[in-house]
Structure formats: structure tokens, C-alpha cells
């Protein structure tokens, strides 16, 4: 179901026309002045993505918005502690859980435990 865009040759305004199928004839009339002297434009297009595709893109650490979400920082922190075979301090666990519930953590320096706490 395409949306075609046309520019009026009289008033130079753009009109978008929704068509139910590609094979349907299109009779463009300017929505502003009513003129039928229209020229078809090459419009923008969209790419359909499934929910899975969207999650894969934004859950990918290489995407630019990944670390803007504090939940992803927590996920990364959990993975690093697990990779190092270390137990996560309770203070950090509480901050990660809070971030998942929408409570933003304090300053980053508060996340760093003292060497003696680990």
C-alpha cells in the first residue's frame, strides 16, 4: 500500500496520496488549490523491521544507542563479573536492579568498589 507524493505545478505544494495497491490508478489533485497539474515526486521510503530485528539492532553493543540505556550497562557489568569468575558486590547488584526498574544510578564513581570490598 504505497503513499505517492505529488507537487502542484501551480502552487508548488506537496500532496501525499495513499493508494490501496500498486496497480490502482492514481488521480492526483492538489489538496491546497485543487489543480490537476501535478508532477510525481520520488518520496522517502521505509524499511519494515520485525520486533526481533529491532531488538537485535539495539541490543547490539556496536549500535550507537546501546549504552544510553542504563539497563544495558548493567547487562554488560553482569557479563564482565561472570567472565572474571567474581561475585558481584551487593551495592552494584542493587544499582543494576534499580536501573532496570527505571531508577537511574548515581555517579559512576559510586559504582566502583574499594579493592578490599571485592
Nine-digit cell at 97? 536492579
**Cα–Cα distance between 81 and 69 in angstroms, integer?**
19
For the residues 43-62, what does the mean pLDDT come to?
73
By the 8 A CB rule, do 37 and 10 touch? Answer: yes
Each residue's pLDDT tens digit, 64-112: 677 777 777 788 888 889 988 999 999 888 888 887 777 766 654 455 5
In the predicted structure, residue 50 carries a pLDDT above the cut 80: yes
Tell me the three state secondary structure of residue 34: coil
Each residue's pLDDT tens digit, 28-37: 999 899 999 9
Amino acid at each position: 500500500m504505497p503513499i505517492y507524493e505529488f507537487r502542484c505545478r501551480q502552487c508548488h505544494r506537496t500532496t501525499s496520496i495513499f493508494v490501496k495497491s500498486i496497480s490502482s490508478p492514481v488521480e492526483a489533485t492538489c489538496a491546497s488549490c485543487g489543480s490537476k497539474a501535478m508532477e510525481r515526486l520520488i518520496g522517502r521510503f521505509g524499511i519494515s523491521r520485525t520486533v526481533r530485528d529491532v531488538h537485535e539492532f539495539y541490543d547490539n553493543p556496536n549500535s550507537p544507542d546501546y549504552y544510553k540505556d542504563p539497563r544495558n550497562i548493567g547487562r554488560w557489568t553482569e557479563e564482565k563479573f561472570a567472565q572474571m569468575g567474581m561475585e558481584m558486590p551487593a551495592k552494584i547488584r542493587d544499582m543494576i536492579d534499580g536501573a532496570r526498574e527505571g531508577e537511574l544510578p548515581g555517579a559512576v564513581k559510586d559504582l566502583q568498589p574499594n579493592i578490599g570490598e571485592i
